[in-house]
Structure 1
Amino acid sequence: MRDIFNEQLEQLNSDLVEMGTLIGQVIRMTVEALVDKDIEKAKKVIRFEDQIDRQEKTIENLCLKLLLQQQPVASDFTQISAALKMITDMERIGDQSADISQILIGMAGQPYIKKLDHIQAMANETTRMVFKSIDAYVKKDLELAKEVILQDDIVDNLFLIIKHELIDLINENTENGEQATDLLMIGKYFERIGDHATNIAEWVIFSITGKHDDIDKITE
């Protein structure tokens, strides 16, 4: 019986990594669509939503099967609980990538009112955070998970810079208002993706240590 349980735990790990890898690819495509004004790529990101949702349901069902049909010990229960939390954040990252892509489609044909330096930097930072959080789970790497949590401050600071830049552009010319609002929403969605990557990293720490403290305690 334990052999079957271990096989199912391995399948859970494999499914989580597969979903995490897909999420990372979707974010990367979203960034490329933003920088290159690639509307077809933005549409492709949106089409990935259904696949992400299916993967979430598959993993959720496997977790419930492990909890209800088997008798997990404390360490197993911790791992399964962390997996359930992680897939929720992964699914939301997929949703927010689709939201960004919807905005990009609405902006089709418009020249950008500003260089995307800080938005691109923010997008790249959140992409790295997602990949690192998944890598930390695979490697059971506590220090790597802590790095992801610390990176969230970088993303938050970049969002503040973007917000002030866009407010200045609106003050200079009110005609900038519509696109400035769209770009601000894109920045906000990337900030949320960073928050979800942070959540994933915290659940990775929980899966390793069995503790889920606040960020100050985790990173001290």
Structure 2
Amino acid sequence: MTRKVFDRELEILHRDITMLGARVETILVDTAAALQTNNREMAQRIYSEDPEINASRNQIEQMCVNLIALQQPLARDLRAITATLKMVTDVERVADQCADICEIMITYPELNQMKVPQTIVTMFEKATEMFAEAIDSFIRQDADLAATIRPKDDVVDSLFSKTIIEMSKLIQADQAFVSQATDYMFIAKYLERIADHATNVAEWTIYAVTGRHTSMKTNIVDRDLTNELEN
């Protein structure tokens, strides 16, 4: 493969991860709208898109592996491919979290019997902003913009904790809202994860541009709601 052809392959890779990021950003915006308007049909549509997102992730991963194996790229090219290989997982998992939120809406229609907590609304706004800026930083290869993402994750973490406290107090005050409050706890958990994945996308952008490793959120696992309630 000549350098010209290799550069073209890199352009295609950059285009594909950019398109996937834009699609997942739309899914995130639509998920917020579906929840706030109780649009279960929209939630079902978003949920049904998940296999396509998974397929796109697999395709991009295979492109990265092929480029590394066949071309043995060096320096910045290798960083760009490696960063794409890593960040595509975070992008795809944002779509997974949206699908999880939509599944709650589809499975538990009684959720609409309770107004969406303001903390959840704000978490959606913050997480969407973080993800959009993280993707934009990658498209523009802007390490300075990417560096602004991590501090915003602390805000989402605080909102997550606040939601857990508010919902647990609601359950204690009125057992009629146990189901809805519990569902909103899980939705808050998924939004907290989305912010973590957005942070990772930004960190991989910094690596691609500068070659500098920063602290990744490598262990994004289920938050134990029991522990949150006890703290």
TM-score (norm 2): 0.90
Which residue identity is paired with 1:22? Answer: R
CA 110–80 in structure 1, closer or farther in 2 if over 3 Å, else same: closer
- Report if aligned partners of 2:97, 2:190 keep a CA contact under 8 Å in 1: yes
Aligned to 2:186: 185
After the TM superposition, which residues 111-190 of structure 1 pair with which residues of structure 2 at under 5 Å, given as runs? 111-190=112-191
After superposition, what is the alpha-carbon deviation per residue over 1:36-79, rounded to whole angstroms, capped at 9, x for unaligned? 00000100111111111111111111111111111311211111
Which blocks of at least 5 consecutive residues in structure 2 are unaligned? 217-231
Say yes or no: does 1:52 pair with 2:56.
no
Partner SS, residue 72 of structure 1? coil
After the TM superposition, which residues 1-220 of structure 1 pair with which residues of structure 2 at under 5 Å, given as runs? 1-214=2-215
**TM-aligned CA deviation for residue 114 of structure 1:** 4.3
Shifted more, 140-149 versus 13-22: the winner is: 140-149
Question: What RMSD in Å do the two structures reach over aligned CA positions?
Answer: 1.3
Aligned residues: 215
Partner SS, residue 123 of structure 2? helix
Q: Aligned partners of 2:113, 2:139: CA distance in 1, in Å?
A: 39
Partner SS, residue 211 of structure 1? coil
Aligned to 2:229: none
TM-score (norm 1): 0.94
Q: Aligned partners of 1:115, 1:52: CA distance in 2, in Å?
A: 27
After superposition, what is the alpha-carbon deviation per residue over 1:161-181, rounded to whole angstroms, capped at 9, x for unaligned? 111110110110122111111
- Report if aligned partners of 2:110, 2:180 keep a CA contact under 8 Å in 1: no
- Report if aligned partners of 2:133, 2:149 keep a CA contact under 8 Å in 1: yes
CA 161–78 in structure 1, closer or farther in 2 if over 3 Å, else same: same
Q: Percent identity?
A: 37
Which residue identity is paired with 2:145? Answer: L
Which blocks of at least 5 consecutive residues in structure 1 are unaligned? 216-220
**TM-aligned CA deviation for residue 102 of structure 1:** 0.4
Shifted more, 167-176 versus 110-119: the winner is: 110-119
Which residue identity is paired with 1:121? Answer: T
